[in-house]
Amino acid sequence: MLARDRVVTIARLELSRRWRVVTGNPVQVIALAIAALFLVPVGLGGIVGTYLFGAGIASGDIETPLALIRPGFVYAWLFVAGFGGYRAYATALRPDRLDGYLTTVSHRELLAGFAFAELVLWGVPSVLLAMAGSLLFAAGTGSVLSAPVLFLTVCITLATALTTGFLVSLVVRSAGVRSRLLTRLRSVLIAVLAVVYFGVLFTQSFASVLEPVYRLLAPTPIGWYGDLALVGTVPAASIGRSVGTVLASAAFMLASAAVLPRLAAGVWYADGVHIEHEVEPASSSTAGRLSSVLPQPVAGVAATDWKRARRAPITLTFAVYPLFLLFSPAMNAVQTGTIGRGFPIWIVCFGPWIAGALFALNVVGNEGAVLPATLLSDAPGRALVAGHVVASVLLVVPVTLVAVVGLGAASPHSMGAVLTLAVSALVLAVAAPPIATGVGAIFPRFEAVSVSRSTEAIVPSKLAFTGYSLVVFLVAIPTLAAHSSIVGHAIASAIGPSPAVVRIVGTVASCALAVTAGSLSAAYAVRSVERFHLD
């Protein structure tokens, strides 16, 4: 078999494997259908936009087309490079059965096959859209020659951007497989990037971030793609820059063809660094400190939860979901510089929601391979349930209480309202983990699922998270309604008592519901663990 045939075969196998993975997961099929419903109109709108842009240039309505198209090509190049880099890091360069591939084909052929698969997957639709857009742009300008020029520009932009993404991805992975420090700090670096991204999203400072990048790239061949796209159409487009960007792009692609296989070989053939977690002496470990105030089995379960979270934070995915719903009030607070009445109220609900989703939502399934040994211990149900509850409560309750009091004091709420909110937050955050234990016992998950491209872990089931979320919201409704400026005042006006009395009644009702639901749920979880039998 020729090298070309092997490359095509690798690409075909990779595309077939991805198709099986997608079609085998109904959630991904639905997500792709939703994405298609969004992207298809956007693509068609972009094609129509090229015609209108060309017609505006021909009629003179657009006086400075270069000033518009230069930033457009630079930002498009950045987006494609970022998207291609993420795809290469997360999927394209992390094949299944890598060792089997490398024993049958060379790393060069393997890299070419994966690149060809990505080209077919994303390049073919992009080229078709570029072809249609170029023809409509030529129809708008009335110049036939502008179609091949714009099409060439789009193809060069896509090729260099995707290649840059692959290069950056391989450089990052190469550093990761060789540096022990970077391996240890990988989770921290990802968290920092996430915080920076969401910080930009909160403050809507995309312009302040992208403008310096544009100023940096504008004098380079990347900033000259705009001239190449409009050369022969707009007199201001520089022929020298157009020729320069074509030559620079060709030289970059030739150099990348030599560098990419070397980087791929360095990543795929490397042994990588191995991080060994040293076991601390019992006297100085977290479990040892907790055992001074808690029973040893309970302290051991809590310390194990914290250790698992530190080593594999991605397993706490469900606990992060509530934070996304806080984006809107947090963004509003940042933009206005003031804390509204609703922000501390939502913290009262979301803090307990996170507390239960951290460790207590899969009491039995979390044990994994050590479940048989756990079930043979003395009173395993009480130790497991109490340990998971303690692990969640000690982490979340202080943060929730401080956030509610601080935000409440800075908001228009009265001190009496802040006090009742704090009481609700304290009781709900303490009761939420016990509630989660019972719901998780009803809908356990024992098998590991894929939480990322290369990581599998035992996480709570979707049914458990949905049911638990519903119970938490039902329990919190009296407090949320009593402290709402609209609902609370409406109740006070309709029934007669003062708003303070309504807040107290709502707080007492939520606390009573939380304590009752938590007690019943925890009792069910204990009974489920102690009556559990392995098949």
Contact call for residues 488 and 502 (beta carbons, < 8 A): yes
- Write the burial class of residue 535 (CB in 10 Å: 0-12 exposed, 13-18 middle, 19+ buried): exposed
Report the alpha-carbon distance of residue 404 to residue 413 in Å, rounded: 11
DSSP-derived 3-state class of residue 457 = strand
Q: pTM for this one?
A: 0.66
Report the alpha-carbon distance of residue 143 to residue 138 in Å, rounded: 5
Report the alpha-carbon distance of residue 8 to residue 229 in Å, rounded: 32
At residue 520, the pLDDT reads 94
Cα separation values, 485 from 93, 417, 493, Å? 53, 11, 12
The string of pLDDT tens digits covering residues 353-374 is 998 888 888 887 776 555 655 5
Collect all residues with Cβ–Cβ distance below 8 Å to 277 and sequence separation of at least 6.
Answer: 311
- 3-state SS, one letter per residue, for 138-205: HHHHCCCCHHHHHHHHHHHHHHHHHHHHHHHHHHHHHHHHHCHHHHHCHHHHHHHHHHHHHHHHHHCC
The string of pLDDT tens digits covering residues 272-319 is 554 454 444 444 455 556 666 777 778 888 888 888 777 777 677 777
Contact call for residues 406 and 354 (beta carbons, < 8 A): no
Query: How is residue 443 annotated by DSSP?
Result: S
Query: How is residue 450 annotated by DSSP?
Result: E
Average pLDDT over residues 98-105: 84
Report the alpha-carbon distance of residue 518 to residue 525 in Å, rounded: 10
The string of pLDDT tens digits covering residues 360-412 is 888 877 765 556 555 556 666 788 888 888 888 998 999 999 999 998 888 88
The string of pLDDT tens digits covering residues 162-208 is 999 999 988 888 887 776 677 666 666 776 777 777 667 666 667 77
**Angle value at C-alpha 286, between 422 and 315, nearest 5 degrees:** 70
Per DSSP, what are the bridge partners of residue 450? 456
Contact call for residues 233 and 138 (beta carbons, < 8 A): no
